[in-house]
């Protein structure tokens, strides 16, 4: 119960890591506003919260739309009157749009992948910084990836996605320094392969499953969304009051090699 009386925004709350973070924040005592394009998924997250459902507000929105982000943030803060925590977990694989190696990546794939994974975080951060400042500070946690830290081989050759995740690290560290005097902490969680709907391709690939012992040697398996949620709960809490500008891998040892 480290987040009692805290108000949090969680993007991507309709499934996967975002859902796990929303549920963990609720369990820690926070009031949570869930943002996602998937309205039905947000309702499912609320149902999974059980008796804590009254502390969850579903706010469907397109996170690549400036107007919709501004409106959703205003709605999230209206009732409690303050904002303390923001977890930016929304994102998407760009393969469906044409992401791939640079020489094969389409311009559409590049732009849509950056919009979904990086521009969306910029828009949310721009909207929430004044709210966090008015509340006396707070915690922003941005979801990166190991692919924003190390090069991916042929099995992970989505270069627009890697660029977006690396951009999240650069943006977050710059914000951490600039907004530190306002009491705003900004950190990144960089997961490895986590068993979520977005990683379905990897989950179904016998080849990649066989590689897990080398990629993530701690368990030789994919991580769970709850592993990332546990890290987010720490970074959101006052226990991390002296932590900012950090990139925290939750990757079973991938980036330690």
Of 161, 178, 179, 234, catalytic: 161
- Alpha helices (H) along the chain: 16-27, 39-48, 66-78, 107-114, 120-134, 159-179, 200-204, 206-215, 225-236
94 secondary structure, DSSP code: S
Q: Cα 16 vs. chain centroid, distance in angstroms?
A: 10
Q: Where does residue 242 rank: exposed (0-12), middle (13-18), buried (19+ CB within 10 A)?
A: exposed
179 CB-near residues (< 8 Å, 6+ apart): 129, 133, 186
182 secondary structure, DSSP code: G
Helix (H) or strand (E) holding 187: strand 184-191
Q: Is 142 helix (H, G, I), strand (E, B) or coil?
A: strand
Name the residue among 131, 134, 135, 117 with its Cα closest to residue 171: 117
Active site residue 161: yes
Q: Cα 164 vs. chain centroid, distance in angstroms?
A: 13
Active site residues: 161
């Amino acid at each position: 119960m480290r987040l009692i009386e805290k108000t949090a925004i969680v993007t991507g709350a309709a499934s996967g890591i975002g859902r796990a973070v929303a549920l963990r924040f609720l369990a820690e005592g926070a009031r949570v506003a869930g943002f996602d394009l998937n309205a039905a998924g947000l309702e499912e997250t609320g149902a999974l919260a059980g008796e804590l459902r009254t502390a969850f507000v579903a706010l469907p929105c397109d996170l690549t739309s400036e107007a919709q982000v501004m409106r959703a943030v205003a709605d999230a803060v209206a009732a409690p009157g303050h904002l303390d925590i923001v977890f930016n977990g929304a994102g998407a694989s760009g393969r469906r749009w044409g992401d791939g190696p640079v020489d094969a990546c389409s311009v559409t794939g590049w732009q849509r992948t950056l919009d979904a994974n990086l521009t969306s975080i910029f828009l949310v951060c721009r909207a929430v910084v004044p709210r966090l400042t008015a509340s006396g500070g707070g915690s922003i946690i941005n979801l990166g990836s190991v692919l924003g830290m190390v090069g991916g081989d042929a099995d992970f050759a989505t270069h627009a996605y890697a660029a977006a995740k690396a951009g999240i690290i650069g943006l977050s560290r710059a914000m951490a320094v600039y907004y530190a005097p306002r009491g705003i902490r900004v950190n990144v969680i960089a997961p490895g392969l986590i068993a979520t709907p977005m990683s379905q391709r990897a989950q179904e690939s016998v080849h990649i499953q066989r590689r897990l012992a080398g990629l993530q040697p701690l368990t030789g398996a994919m991580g769970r969304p709850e592993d990332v949620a546990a890290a987010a709960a720490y970074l959101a809490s006052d226990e991390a009051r002296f932590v900012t500008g950090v990139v925290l891998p939750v990757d079973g040892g991938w980036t330690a090699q």
